[in-house]
Amino acid sequence: MSHGHAEVITTHEVHHDEHGAHHHHQSFITKYIFSQDHKIIAKQFLITGMIWAIIGGLMSVLFRLQLGYPDQTFPWLEDILGNWARGGKITPENYYALVTMHGTILVFFVLTGGLSGTFANFLIPLQCGARDMASPMMNMLSYWFFFGGSIVMLSSLFIQTGPFSGGWTAYPPLSALGDASPGSKTGMDLWITAMAMFVVSSLLGGLNYVSTVLNLRTKGMSMTRLPLTIWALFFTAVLGILSFPVLLSGFILLLFDRHAGTSFYLSDIYIAATNQALPNEGGSAILYQHLFWFLGHPEVYIILLPAMGMASEILSVNSRKPIFGYMAMVGSLFAITILAFLVWAHHMFVTGLNPFLGSVFVLLTLLIAVPSAIKVFNWLTTIWKANIKFTPGMLFALGFVSLFISGGLTGIFLGNSTLDIHLHDTYFVIAHFHIVMGVSAFFGMFAGIYHWFPKMYGRFMNNTMAYIHFWGTLIGAYLIFWPMHYEGLAGMPRRYLDYSNWSSFNQFADLNRFISTVAMIVFALQLLFVFNFFYSIWKGRKVTTLNPWDATTLEWTTPIHPGHGNWEGEIPEVHRWAYDYSKDGRDFIPQTEPIGPNESKH
Amino acid sequence: MTTTGLFLLAILALGFLITFQIAKASEYVSVLKGEKKSFEQNNKINGFLMVVFLVLGLIGVYWCNKALYHKTLMPYPSASEHGENIDTMLKITLLITGIVFFITQILLFWFAYKYQYSDKRRAFYYPHNNKLEVLWTTVPAIALCTLVGFGLYYWFKITGEAPANAMQVEITGRQFGWIYRYPGKDNVFGKKYFRMIDEADGNILGMLWKDSTMETPNGVQNLKADPTGYDDIIQTSAMYLIKDQPVKLIINSRDVIHDVGLPHFRMKMDAVPGTPTTMWFTPKYTTEEMKKITNNPNFEYEIACDQMCGNGHYSMKGLIKVVTRDEFVLWRAKQQPGYKAPTKAGDPAITEPGAQPAPAAQPADTAAAGAGAVVPKGNLVAAHK
């Protein structure tokens, strides 16, 4: 630990320009690999998350190829994938492996690890006014557990029996019985191991985020002066800390059922493949679903809240207007956090759940729409009578609001148990959650990356590529997911690789091909973003002013290339909230400026 | 195909290269023009695109609906009475969410266009307004209460107890197909136990057709044959239901979780190993009638497995034939009880099946209770709730 402090002092004194980094006495390993600087750790999370996103996205391209062209063979697929695509066709077990890995990777490794890991790490110390996280050491461990989990998960792709293939929710008995599905053999052990490491990473990170926000705010930074990003990241961390352990306990029981002969989830099972009745009796497969969704639903908000926070901040900065209803925004984040724990069984309306219990969950679930509605109307009022600068970050923040509305409203269908009977596990669900927590969370993430890239690397990303990326992705996302609602209204089930034998669902062959084509184009556009990102790290236009967006928050008071410790000399003191834009005839008033004698109150 | 792949890759690379060159060039141009000017130009273009996106989006929504509406189930009446309730609920929800959708999306993109940056204007400092915030807390709350109210009214109707005259059919999922069982002439389902399942012997459900003693982890179990099961009809080809006759499905699974998905009836219920579930509905149209209604001569009521159950999940199809009462009686008369067909196990001494000493009352041995044993009609409601 003492080493960490020494580092703090030396780094911020030496670093003034980016060339300094290369001649620094700190070794490459301690500076860039086992770094305890929250900014480096944030970048590590971001880049690992991006690599995962490319892998997970590529998987969706592959299985969309199967869905769009179920009767065609692609010999080049066999060249690339070998056994996964024998004869140029993705085999069912590998289709399911791809679908499962796509879900696991995107939900956990990209939109939880990549999103929270990046922005909580990067923004909490910078916007609270702290030199680093409460425990830089734990923070470093958080990344390396994430990295370790990533390696284990990745390795499961290369084993003989294939990676886990029973869906990202990993419901037993399918996930417990290797004889029921080859993916549930070694692949599932690796999956559980990787997820356990992920949970540890998430807890180490989350505890750090919470203690930093509560304890390390600079002088004058009361909780109600925090930017909404920090509030959102704070609640995200609380959600994770309280729900991930429950998931882990569920996984441990699953591990026992798999290897220790227990019957937590197993009962009355006969396996046709081996012509054997299993010894287990008295377990409940539904118990796992309760444990899983006790995390699984908060997880949705773990993914979404950071995006909400960043969108709020970016909308306000680029509207040159304060966020409308700051306290209502904090209150609705709080309400969402509380309600997130009370709605999990809405994923289980058709499992045989007691209908009365179901009705309680309907009420609580639809209640979540109230804070969500408050947020939407507050965002709309924020841009009303604004003076909007369409920076790439702002575009993605606006896109986020549009997608959040579209996907949120379909949640009102699915949260209502009556409609869920019909729509459960159909493409309506796919459309709903991809829009509301997939694409919209990605939009929040993109908004954050474009907005804070200058702070991360001291350079701008290329605007033209950003505009193409934004418009292409927004249009593409709607083209992909909007028509899927109609497939859902036809009752078309998810997780099928071929619908041609079903007279009820085979009318959508053309649509499936169309969706697959758009999905591939949108994937290519994301590669454009990745290219822009890496190109701009080294070749982007240089940032020449401390505060390129004219924002009020503390991170823009640090040097263009802040060293470990963030501020040279004293950490600035805060005198006001983060949203004094266009007040008293001034474009913006930084948080560090004392309240003037004649200043109007907000 | 490999050449096509390479060709596509080449096109992709070229596209990237061109985009990249344009992007770089535009950066240089903006430096030449001055940052302020190029910002204003870009801002105008993006502001304009906001309104273009809004208009094209709304047209797209209309066009998509026109192209796809007739492919959904919505143009046709639901095939069950429950389904009609669900369709009504769908329409109410669609109406309310639709209004919100159009208002908010139009405001979002319209504001973005209208309030784009101008040198001459300053943004309006408007940090909060309690009245407005109370307004849009209470209005959504009221709208949602309406939806919860309607939703729960229908929900309890649908999940309520089946009518006393409901026909009972048991459906069991397995990797990857469905097994249907009718109680036979005595109207009582015979008991079963999963350790008795023997595919080779044709006992695919584990019916207690013979006395047996077996070693289980719970000790030695003596299982007595259950004569009420001798006349049970076990089928794997299709489930026959009677038009306008309520039916209660008793849903089981033999291995992993499956789901009985009936899109035309708008019904769905998981099949969970070890925990039987139920659902009931009343078919309104025969398969033949549905062929006319949907204008599709190949129409069938398909049972789709809606819960990921393994590599054959996508092929796990079942069939329901809804027929008239007369047709049903005819079909049923032709069915052989499952017991006789594969029998090697001595003579099927069918002593009068009517002499049932209330099988539900005699607690099935140890853990088989509830799970393996299916109780007769009169007690079903109690046993499966």
Indicate if B333 and B377 belong to the same structural domain.
yes
Q: Please state the domain count of chain B.
A: 2
Domain termination site, one of B160, B184, B219: B160
Q: What is the pLDDT of residues A278-308, one digit of tens each?
A: 999 999 999 999 999 999 999 999 999 999 9
Identify residue A308 by its one-letter amino acid code: M
User: How many angstroms separate the CA atoms of B144 and B138, rounded?
Assistant: 10
Domain count, chain A: 1
Residues of chain B short of pLDDT 50, as ranges, are 341-385
For residue B263, list chain A residues with Cβ-Cβ distance below 8 A.
422, 490-491, 504
Distance between CA atoms of residues A90 and A97, nearest Å: 10
Task: Tell me if A596 is assigned to some domain.
Answer: no
* Inside any domain, residue B350: no
Confirm or reject contact between A255 and chain B (CB < 8 A).
no
User: Which residues 307-326 of A have a C-beta within 8 angstroms of B?
Assistant: 319-326
A600, part of any domain: no
Under 8 Å between Cβ of B75 and B87: no
**Parallel, antiparallel, or unpaired: how do β-strands B233-235 and B301-305 relate?**
unpaired
Rounded Cα distance, B381 and B365, in Å: 21
User: Average pLDDT for residues A329-354, to the nearest whole number?
Assistant: 95
In a domain? residue A160: yes
Distance, in Å, from the CA atom of B160 to the CA atom of B385, rounded to the nearest integer, reads 10
A78 strand-pairing partners: none
A137-179 pLDDT tens trace: 999 999 999 999 999 999 999 999 999 999 999 999 999 999 9
B153 lies in the same domain as B175: no
- Which of B100, B270, B311 lies at the smallest CB-CB distance from A96? B311
Q: What is the overall mean pLDDT for chain A?
A: 92
Residue A55 lies in a domain: yes
Amino acid at A492: M
Residues belonging to chain B = 385
* Per-residue confidence band for A10, with pLDDT thresholds at 50, 70 and 90: very low
The answer to whether residue A343 sits within a structural domain is yes
Q: What φ, ψ does residue B302 adopt, rounded to 5°?
A: -95, 145
The DSSP code sequence of A534-596 is HHHHHHSPBP-SS-TT---SGGGGS-SS--TTSSSSSPPP--S-S--EEETTEEE--TTSPPP
What pLDDT is recorded for position B199? 86
Domain assignment present for B241: yes
Per-residue pLDDT, B340: 63
Range of the domain at A342: 2-588
Residues B172 and B301 in one domain: yes
- Helix ranges (H only) for A342-483 are 355-367, 369-383, 392-414, 417-423, 427-433, 440-457, 463-481
* Neighboring chain A residues of B199 at a CB cutoff of 8 Å: 272, 275
Exposure string of A109-143, with b = 16+ CB inside 10 Å and e = fewer, is bbbbbbbbbbbbbbbbbbbbbbbbbbbbebbbbbb
For residues B374 and B228, state if they share a domain. yes
Residue A96 clears pLDDT 90, i.e. is over it:
yes
Tell me the CATH number at A113. 1.20.210.10
- Domain contains A599: no
B214 touches chain A (CB under 8 A): no
Whether residue B189 lies inside any domain: the answer is: yes
Average the pLDDT over A495-522 and give the result: 94
In three-state secondary structure terms, A167 is coil
Q: Which residues of A touch B261 (CB under 8 A)?
A: 425, 491, 493
> What dihedral do alpha carbons A266, A267, A272, A275 form, nearest 10°?
110
Chain B residues near residue A504 by CB distance under 8 angstroms? 263-264, 300, 302, 304
The CATH number that applies at residue B323 is 2.60.40.420
DSSP states of B52-113:
HHHHHHHHHHHHHHHHHGGGSSTTS--SBHHHHHHHHHHHHHHHHHHHHHHHHHHHHHHHHH
- Tell me, yes or no, whether B137 and B175 share the same domain: no
Rounded distance, CA A325 to CA B116, Å?
A: 21
Instruction: Give domain status of residue B93, yes or no.
Output: yes
List Cβ neighbours of B198 (8 Å cut-off, separation of 6 or more): B206
Q: Is B295 part of any domain?
A: yes
Residue B60 in contact with partner chain A when CB distance is under 8 A: yes
Residue A378 within any structural domain of the chain: yes
**Cα gap B376→B358, rounded to integer Å:** 8
pLDDT score of A14? 42
Q: What percentage of chain B's residues is helix, strand, coil (to nearest 5)?
A: 45, 20, 35
- For residue B352, give how far its alpha carbon lies from the nearest alpha carbon of chain A (Å): 30
Q: How far is CA A516 from the centre of its chain?
A: 23
Q: What is the pLDDT of residues A206-233, one digit of tens each?
A: 999 999 999 999 999 999 999 999 999 9
The answer to whether residue B72 sits within a structural domain is yes
> How far is residue A477 from each of residues A508, A518, B51, measured CA to CA in Å?
19, 8, 18
Mutation pick from B51, B118, B134, B256 vs chain A, by most beta carbons of A within 10 Å, is: B256
Q: Mind listing the pLDDT tens digit for each residue in A531-557?
A: 999 999 999 999 999 999 999 999 999
The interface residues of chain B toward chain A in range 229-268, judged by CB-CB distance below 8 A, are: 251, 254-257, 259, 261, 263-264, 266-268
In a domain, A413, yes or no: yes
Q: How far is A141 from chain B (nearest CA, A)?
A: 35
Same domain, B187 and B210: yes
Q: Answer yes or no: do B274 and A412 touch at CB < 8 A.
A: no
Does one domain contain both B173 and B285?
yes
Compute the distance between CA of residue B169 and CA of residue B160 in angstroms, rounded to an integer.
Answer: 18
Structure pTM?
A: 0.91
In a domain, B19, yes or no: no
Which DSSP letter does residue A508 get?
Answer: G
Residue B317 lies in a domain: yes
What range defines the domain where residue B326 resides? 167-342+364-384
* CA dist., res. A64 & res. B371, Å (int): 40
Q: What is the ipTM of this complex?
A: 0.92
Residues B191 and B92 in one domain: no
- SS3 label, residue B365: coil
For residues B156 and B175, state if they share a domain: no
